[in-house]
Amino acid sequence: MVSGAAWAQAPAKGGAANLAMVGEPQGLDPMVSTADLVGTIMQHVYETLYTFDGNWNVAPMLAEAAPTVSKDGLTYTIPLRKGVKLHNGRDLNAEDVVASLQRWMELSPRGKAVGKELASITAKGPLSVELKLKAPYAPLLAQLALPSGMAAIMAKESIAPQLKEFIGTGPYKFKERRPDQFTVLTRFDEYSSRKEAPSGYAGRREALLDELRFVPVPSANTRVEGALSGQFQYADLLPVEAIGRVEKGAPGVVPIVTKNFGFPYIVFNTKEGVLAQQPMRKAVQTAMGAGEMLAAGFGDNRFFVVEPNFFPKGTPYYSEAGGKLYNERNPAVAKEQAAKAGYNGQPVRIMASRQYEFHYNMALVMSEQLKKAGFKTDLQVVDWATLVQRRNDSKLWDVYFTHSGLFPEPMLSPPQLGDGAPGWWDSAAKKSTLQAFNQETNIAKRGALWGQVQQTVYDEVPFVEVGKFNALSARSAKLQGYTPAIWPFFWNTSLAK
């Protein structure tokens, strides 16, 4: 959050920032793609009805305020801000919002999930939208707020199955894209900002830079070199082992550690194989040491956090439920549990990919931990595309390694909380705890109900969340006002003269 004192100094306007990204976006349609890169770029062009503040609470953006919700929890009436300008010069209205959300529910994976819950969406006058649900659905506003697979609000006349014009309300306008070279956005001088102080993605947004140039740089080492040489004012997602070079390499470069960036997790096959029964998964859980795995995966302890809570302290879903079952690393007890469960020497097939080196390094450690508890292991190292294909066949694996961004709404990840994802977790306790959680719309009550879901995950072991990891990026010391974020944003940032 930027303090009032910092704002009082009136940051300099003007200049262009070269921003090194991890690659070329597949496209610029933020609904069609759930890729973080697309959301990162296009959140400057398009805005959402709601967004997240610095504590991951839902806050209004294009909406004037929180929705009015009917007593039965089925009707949400969303008031829109008056006088918000679109990039084509006219004012945003409820018809733009309805048309945008209908397109989102047709094309976006997240939108489709919301569409299944929705009975109708209608404009109620020029500045009000009504959403009617089939049953209470608490994740609704979080789904509308996420920059990834975005419920982007766009000018209705620009809407098409394939977008040819990118007309939003954001602080920057689309100017030009040259594949494999850059995507350029320019300041929107008629931008209608909120008045609240900036906090996370919420509050006042100001386009201080004339131009944002998003440059695809797939080589992580090239991003490091470009940051150190001053070629880039910002370089995204650098290898954690580069921290020493970034700290000492050039006086004008500032390392950025984005905390709670994501979490590695290990999925168990609950459908068939050696770990299909809960007592056997329990034995594996007892043998595992998350701390050792994270140390192997990330090395520098600035880049990982060993803790049992799925969500960080200070967020609505922080809970210590089930924490006693985390990071036990007790081979003797695990051996007893496995014997009682009828273990007779079948190998535990562990699938991991070296494309994510931290997955592979953690899998090596897990394999050794299980061997100490008397398990046989079969470590299968495959490329990521093969792993994604093979995990759909329950006959081929017992455990696989993956990771997720740390999203603010529990139902956004991991997919094992939904239905039918690899691992095929399905139980009475899962159904009852998730139903109670998803139908409760009061955030304080939802927080307590999440604790029951987290306890069920620890008890039934459909997956194990290993811990949290932090990400490394870098910026020029001249790029001022930058706030570390999962989807980096560059409104409220300026270049010192």
DSSP string, 14-38: --EEEEEESS--S-S-TTT---HHH
The predicted structure's pLDDT at residue 9:
61
End-to-end CA distance of the chain: 23
CATH number, domain with residue 419? 3.10.105.10
Tell which residue, 229, 228, 230, 233, has the closest CA to residue 213: 233
pLDDT band at 406 (very low <50, low <70, confident <90, very high): confident
Whether 180 and 329 share a structural domain: no
State the average pLDDT over residues 53-79: 95
State the average pLDDT over residues 204-215: 98
Alpha helices in 392-442 (DSSP H): 428-439
- pLDDT of 7 > 70? The answer is no
Higher pLDDT: 61 or 407? It is: 61
Place of tokens 């880039």: 232
> Residue 255 corresponds to which tokens in the numbers above?
């390392």
CATH number, domain with residue 115? 3.40.190.10
The predicted structure's pLDDT at residue 295:
95
Cα separation, 327 vs 322, whole angstroms: 11
CA distances from 169 to 91, 152, 192, 297, 478 (A): 9, 10, 8, 41, 28
Cα separation, 485 vs 497, whole angstroms: 25
Whether 21 and 74 share a structural domain: yes
Cα separation, 163 vs 158, whole angstroms: 7
Does 251 sit behind a cis peptide bond, omega within 30 degrees of 0 on the bond before it? no
Q: Per-residue pLDDT tens for 368-386?
A: 999 999 999 999 999 887 8
pLDDT band at 77 (very low <50, low <70, confident <90, very high): very high
Whether 455 and 416 share a structural domain: yes
Q: Structurally, how many domains does the chain consist of?
A: 2
Whether 428 and 321 share a structural domain: yes
- pLDDT of 413 > 50? The answer is yes
Quick check: is 247 in a domain? no
The whole-chain average pLDDT of the chain stands at 93
Cα separation, 19 vs 111, whole angstroms: 29
Whether 176 and 319 share a structural domain: no
Cα separation, 338 vs 356, whole angstroms: 30
Q: Per-residue pLDDT tens for 438-496?
A: 888 888 899 999 999 999 999 999 999 999 999 999 999 999 999 999 899 999 999 99
> Residue 41 corresponds to which tokens in the numbers above?
């770029």
Whether 43 and 146 share a structural domain: yes
Whether 167 and 273 share a structural domain: no
Whether 411 and 447 share a structural domain: yes
CA distances from 96 to 80, 118, 198, 380 (A): 11, 18, 26, 50
Q: Which residues contact 417 (CB under 8 A, 6 or more apart)?
A: 410, 411, 434, 453
DSSP string, 123-145: E-STTEEEEEESS--TTHHHHHH
Burial class of residue 304 (count of CB atoms within 10 Å of its CB; 0-12, 13-18, 19+): buried
Quick check: is 325 in a domain? yes
Quick check: is 242 in a domain? no
Domain that holds residue 284: 261-470
Whether 349 and 279 share a structural domain: yes
The 75-79 sheet, strands edge to edge: 68-69, 75-79, 128-133, 118-123
Whether 274 and 421 share a structural domain: yes
